[in-house]
Chain A
Amino acid sequence: MSKSNTILYLDGVSVSFDGFRAINNLSLVLDKGEMRAIIGPNGAGKTTMMDIVTGKTRPDEGEVFFDGQVDLTKHDEAEIAMMGIGRKFQKPTVFESHSIEENLMLALKGPRSIFPALFHRRSAAEARRIDDILGIIRLGDKRNELAANLSHGQKQWLEIGMLLAQDPKLLLVDEPVAGMTDAETEETARLLKDIARDHSVVVVEHDMHFVRELGVKVTCLHEGSVLSEGSLDFVSADERVVEVYLGR
């Protein structure tokens, strides 16, 4: 398989935890600019796959390439983030003791060393970018509130906003609509489709309405490898998928 023109390329990836194979000979390819939805039952290895891509977990074997040429297994989290891979955690993780604006400020693309941060003053361009993002994630009126005071869904949005601030090429979004109302879920689907216009995106989600809303190619993982891949209708008609979801 050719790696050129792929943003993410996983081939034959396996990882075990204490003998348990969480990822088992997983191969997955994402084209540049593509948005992909990943579904699969609990424990299928969806989050672990993101851990591998973002450098948190080293695969035991297999190839992981970003942008066609960068071997991600040779880099750590911070380097991978700087290359342009942003990640939203399954459990929304924001800096609770900081305001929304400060959360975005810390995520904003820019130098990542200590001394510039010590003497940093917010530039007009940065302020504009923060305003833009606050508009996109609809938290403009809460900019000075503590992130701890946000609702679960708002925290999810803030985290997505932080990804945007980071300005990555590829976004990995783990369960973005968990804990959201139907209206918020719809809003999030619109937001992600918007983002997907100029980014590559991988979305992990259990909510099938949401996945349908996204209207993109779907990959179903099970026991650490790809069970089925294609349109949502194709995947949900696949007998093996039905069996996995309904249990036997």
Chain B
Amino acid sequence: MITGRFFAAGADRRIAITILILLAAAIIVPLLNLAVSPASAFYIPSYIVALTGKYLCYALLALALDLVWGYCGILSLGHGAFFALGGYAMGMYLMRQIGSRGVYGNPILPDFMVFLNYKELPWFWYGFDHFWVAAIMVLAVPGLLAFVFGWFAFRSRVTGVYLSIITQAMTYALLLAFFRNDMGFGGNNGLTDFKDILGFNVQADATRSALFAASAITLALAVFITWAIVGSKYGKLLMAVRDAESRTRFLGWRAENVKLFAFTVSAVMAGIAGALYVPQVGIINPGEFEPSNSIEVVVWAAVGGRGTIVGPIIGALLVNAGKSWFTGALPEFWLFALGGLFVAVTLFLPKGIIGMWDSWRGNARAQRAASLAEEAGTDPDVPPPKVVRSAATKPGDWSASGPEPQPAE
């Protein structure tokens, strides 16, 4: 079975398989939606395409968090803010594409501005009628915020729980700001009623399929980039800062810059995820800045396995599939289930699904090797393979001594 092979594969093969699956999905899912008759057993309904497209955006967000949390130990509880900012940038473009088709028929001003008696377009909405401007803003706004935030936080050596708290405060502050009508982003209603993206109707099946494909391809690209970063000398340094920050400083590395780069790249990835998300769900409102959203992302990454690239993607897909089912069947219990899941994973699966799988495979392999050696007879020259290391202690994994950086003396 393909999933069995996928899990069993070594880290690099696993990455390659993930990328292949995503690229295949980018082709096959749209085909099965558009080119297959709805009567066929292979037909994928449009709502499923939109739903899974949304999950892929969440997976990209979880991967972004993994780069900083899994590989650098920065537990950001504010990644939802970068996601939402990317989403708002895309939403502003989509708003301006409505043109005079809005309720008030104003060719320049979006409906909510007419309603709020705006006389002219605020300056920060200029240019958003061009896709390329919006696309740059999708990258630049979250990236710049992360850079400035990280510059101050990492330079003043804010770490651990204090850093987590100020990232929460950041997303909460943005939540409050975006709720205000006079901010010019549509207040608590946010931005919605989108019509076109790049000239195509956002509601059309073909557009939805294209957005799904774009999400899958972007995620595949992000997996590749994260893998390349993590495998580089810089990536080793990132993990070194995670495990022994002061050691890196006394070797001459600027740990704050190491963190800042990863944090900024991660925020840009989160922004892209938000930008792909908004046209697929058709709305962006301040609720996306909700602190609990950012915490959910942490749960996805923890469930799948932080510091494994593939783990957070699997975690995001599984938890969100579970959420969709739960909110249909037992809506009032979802938050309890999520909280319980997080506690259970922290207690019983500290390395998440992927980590558990790896150590299980590692032990199984070691035992198989041991029994093979036994069968081969008691050859005194061949010492039996030692069952010393589980596969989970590969380079780059969380160090055996625990994830918290140790104070050095």
A84 to chain B: closest residue by CB: B252
Most buried by A among B257, B395, B408: B395
Q: Which of A5-13, A33-41, A111-119 contacts B (4 or more CB under 8 A)?
A: A111-119
Min CB distance B237 to A, Å, is 6
A47 to B409, CA, bound (A): 7
A94 to B244, CA, bound (A): 7
CB–CB B251/A81 < 8 A: yes
A99 to B237, CA, bound (A): 12
A145 to chain B: closest residue by CB: B389
Is residue B234 within 8 Å, beta carbon to beta carbon, of the partner chain?
Answer: yes
CB–CB B251/A97 < 8 A: no
Given contacts A89-B409, A91-B406, contact A54 B232 (CB under 8 A): no
CB–CB A118/B233 < 8 A: yes
Report the interface size for chain B: residues with CB under 8 A from the other chain: 36
Is residue A231 within 8 Å, beta carbon to beta carbon, of the partner chain?
Answer: no
Q: A93-117, CB under 8 A of B: which get 1 and which 0?
A: 1111111001001110000111001
Give B384-409 interface residues, CB cut-off 8 Å to A.
388-389, 393, 395-401, 406, 408-409
A87 to B247, CA, bound (A): 9
CB–CB A98/B240 < 8 A: yes
B251 to chain A: closest residue by CB: A107
Is residue B25 within 8 Å, beta carbon to beta carbon, of the partner chain?
Answer: no
CB–CB A82/B239 < 8 A: no
A47, A95, A166: the one within 8 Å of B239 (CB): A95
Is residue B236 within 8 Å, beta carbon to beta carbon, of the partner chain?
Answer: yes
CB–CB B251/A120 < 8 A: no
B407 to chain A: closest residue by CB: A91
A174 to B233, CA, bound (A): 28
Is residue A44 within 8 Å, beta carbon to beta carbon, of the partner chain?
Answer: no
Contact partners of A99 in chain B: CB under 8 A: 395
A118 to chain B: closest residue by CB: B234
B240 to chain A: closest residue by CB: A95
Min CB distance A82 to B, Å, is 4
CB–CB A93/B247 < 8 A: yes
A237 to B345, CA, bound (A): 60
Is residue B163 within 8 Å, beta carbon to beta carbon, of the partner chain?
Answer: no
A96, A105, A149: the one within 8 Å of B233 (CB): A105
CB–CB B236/A106 < 8 A: yes
Min CB distance A64 to B, Å, is 16
CB–CB B252/A117 < 8 A: no
Contact partners of A186 in chain B: CB under 8 A: none
Contact partners of A120 in chain B: CB under 8 A: 232-234
Contact partners of A166 in chain B: CB under 8 A: 251-252
A133 to B322, CA, bound (A): 52
CB–CB A87/B250 < 8 A: yes
A residues at B contact (CB < 8 Å)? 47, 54, 56, 77-78, 81-82, 86-87, 89-91, 93-99, 102, 105-107, 112-114, 117-120, 146, 148-149, 162, 166, 174
